Structure 1
Amino acid sequence: MKRNAFIKHLKTNGCVLVREGANHSLFLNPNNGKKSTVGRHPELSELMCKIICKQLEIPSI
């Protein structure tokens, strides 16, 4: 999955960008306080997207 499409999914589910690191971006779900990192790769595997959604407690894509 494209990184931009996945970030759009995170934002539509209420997650916000906390900070940009050198290799990762940190996202926060303000509804429950859960945080997760998203790598700076143009393509993210489906498994990685599913794991990040589970960590943030939002619906999978």
Structure 2
Amino acid sequence: METSTAKIRRRLEKDGWYLDRHGAGHDIYRHPEIEGIVTLPRHTQVSPLVARSIARKAGWTD
């Protein structure tokens, strides 16, 4: 699982997620067809556990 927030952000946007709003230290993404939100921390790297959680919420299987 990729842990670079820049690469995760690019993949989210490529898959149709859009930036809904900026939180204090996070960016909140929404998808027009998928229920819920994805919260992406504004760090250079995220832990593998956080990356796995983002992937699960985004519906990624790989």
Q: Do these two structures clear the TM 0.5 threshold for a shared fold by scoring above it?
A: yes
Task: Report runs of 4+ in structure 1 exceeding 2 Å deviation.
Answer: none
What amino acid is aligned across from residue 15 of structure 2 in structure 1?
Answer: N
In structure 2, list runs of 5 or more residues that go unmatched: none
Return the TM-score normalized by structure 2: 0.78
CA distance in 2, matches of 1:7, 1:60: 17
Classify 1:4/1:53 alpha carbon distance in 2 versus 1 (closer, same or farther; 3 Å).
same
What amino acid is aligned across from residue 22 of structure 1 in structure 2?
Answer: A
Match of 2:6 in 1: 4
Shift of 1:12: 1.1
Return the TM-score normalized by structure 1: 0.79
CA RMSD across the alignment: 1.6
Offset from partner CA, 1:35-56 (integer Å, 9 cap, x none): 1211111111222112112113
In structure 1, list runs of 5 or more residues that go unmatched: none
Percentage of matched positions with identical amino acids: 23
Report how many aligned residue pairs link the two structures: 60
Classify 1:52/1:60 alpha carbon distance in 2 versus 1 (closer, same or farther; 3 Å).
same
After TM superposition, list the pairs within 5 Å mapping 1:1-61 onto structure 2. Answer: 1-57=3-59, 59-60=60-61
